[in-house]
Every structure is written in structure tokens, then in C-alpha cells.
Amino acid sequence: QKEVEQDPGPLSVPEGAIVSLNCTYSNSAFQYFMWYRQYSRKGPELLMYTYSSGNKEDGRFTAQVDKSSKYISLFIRDSQPSDSATYLCAGNSGGYQKVTFGIGTKLQVIP
Amino acid sequence: GAVVSQHPSRVICKSGTSVKIECRSLDFQATTMFWYRQFPKQSLMLMATSNEGSKATYEQGVEKDKFLINHASLTLSTLTVTSAHPEDSSFYICSATPPGRRGDEQFFGPGTRLTVL
């Protein structure tokens, strides 16, 4: 079993839709969770960083963590074609501990 | 701020040759940098942790004699793929954490695509 499971997609949505991206993880020691956006042939860009369970909002993006079910989500409101990218979820137990990534979900927002 | 660069962005080499990839933190000093490898349709896999002034720490299954890491300064880490083979063809990405940030808040370089013929 992979430590971080993520549906690779692709996920296609019309412009303006609310996008829901999800991951599950198996490592109970994970305390910190991240979402990265990766455009084709580019390095990942940190989008959201959260600690433990709860919600965090930043503009059109909301990250949710439910540690009881080991489930993490990223919501994108009013999706734009420029949001088309691969979104990677990740987790770690803190500090300089190894960050474990999911495979990434490819999102396409259609104009 | 928190910009990480890599050079080259793409390299094609013949089997058996060695290739050096540079990772630089442009606007901050990084005592620790990370090297990842990403195969198509697979997740980012940590290869090694590069520590300024000391030996790198390699993940299980990564050959340290094949993937040589040198963290010579607080802004530069290099990864040398020695005697490259076609199976080493991959997307190599480095990352670093600026001072004052948590160690897991990593900022990534743009990646280097290596193709070994």
C-alpha cells in the first residue's frame, strides 16, 4: 500500500466549476499536509500547507484535512483554464522528515 | 522570494557518460537541499538529502556511488549521474527550504529532464 494514494485522473471540468481533489494516506504519524501544483515539465509549486485536522483557505483554494479518516482534500472555486495542471498532495511527520507525495491528479479546466 | 533554479533544464547523453545537474537557491541560503526523481505517471520520489559541508543522506535503494551529490556552498548542490544508462532517464528535481520556514515547506526547482540514449 502506498503511503499517499491519489487518483491520477484526468479530471475535466468546465470553467467556473468547483473542483474537488482528494487523497488518502496511511501513515498515522503524518501531521503536516501540502498541496502542490505542477505544470507540465515544470517543478512543483507549493499551494497550500496545513497542520493537523481542519480547513485552510487561500483565495480560491481551500485545503481540508480529516486525520480521523486520513483524508485530505483541495477545493478550487471558480476554476480557470490556468488551473489546468497536475495537483500533488503530500504529507510528513514534521520538520525535516521525509515528505511523501501522491502520484498527482491531472486537472483540465475547459473554457 | 524562495526561488530555486536548476541547470540544465534538459540534457541528452550517451549511455556510459556522466551528467552533472546543478541546483541553486537564488535568494536564500539553504543548508539542506533535496533531490527527487519523477518517472512518467509516477510520484516524486526522494533520492537523497544534501547537507552543506557534509555527506548526503541517501534513501533506501538509491546507489550513492552512482548518484554523487556535492553540497559545496549554502546556495549550490550538484547531482552527478555517473555512467548513465537508459533506465536513468527521468525528470530530476531539487528543492530547498528557506530559513525561518518549516523543513517540510519545500520550494522546488524547475527540474532537469535527462534522456540517456
- First vs last C-alpha separation in chain B: 37
B110 prior amide bond cis, ω within 30: no
- Output the pLDDT for position B105: 80
What is the CA B10 to chain-centroid distance, rounded?
Answer: 13
Q: Which of B6, B45, B108 sits opposite A44 (nearest CB)?
A: B108
Burial of B107 (0-12, 13-18, 19+ CB in 10 A): buried
- Output the pLDDT for position A110: 97
CA distances from A79 to A57, A104, B38 (A): 15, 18, 27
- Percent of chain B topping pLDDT 70: 99
> What part of A 60-89 touches B (C-beta under 8 Å)?
88
The verdict on a CB contact (< 8 Å) between B102 and A32 is yes
Q: Which of B41, B91, B104 sits opposite A99 (nearest CB)?
A: B104
List pLDDT tens digits, range B10-25: 999 999 999 999 999 9
Say yes or no to pLDDT of B104 above 80: no
List pLDDT tens digits, range A16-28: 999 999 999 999 9
- Output the pLDDT for position A93: 87
Q: Does the CA dihedral B110-B107-A71-A82 come out positive or negative?
A: negative
List pLDDT tens digits, range B51-75: 888 889 999 999 999 999 999 899 9
Per-residue pLDDT of chain A (111 residues; tens, 9 = 90+): 789 999 998 999 999 999 999 999 999 999 999 999 999 888 899 899 898 888 999 999 999 999 999 999 999 999 999 999 999 999 988 766 788 999 999 999 999
d(CA A39, CA A42): 5
In angstroms and rounded to an integer, the radius of gyration of the C-alpha atoms of chain A is 13
Q: Buried (b) or exposed (e) across A84-100, using 16+ Cβ within 10 A?
A: bbbbbbbbbeeeeeebb
Chain A residues in contact with B43 (beta carbon < 8 A)? 2, 4, 6, 88, 101-104
Q: Does the CA dihedral A52-B27-B53-B39 come out positive or negative?
A: positive
- Output the pLDDT for position B59: 93
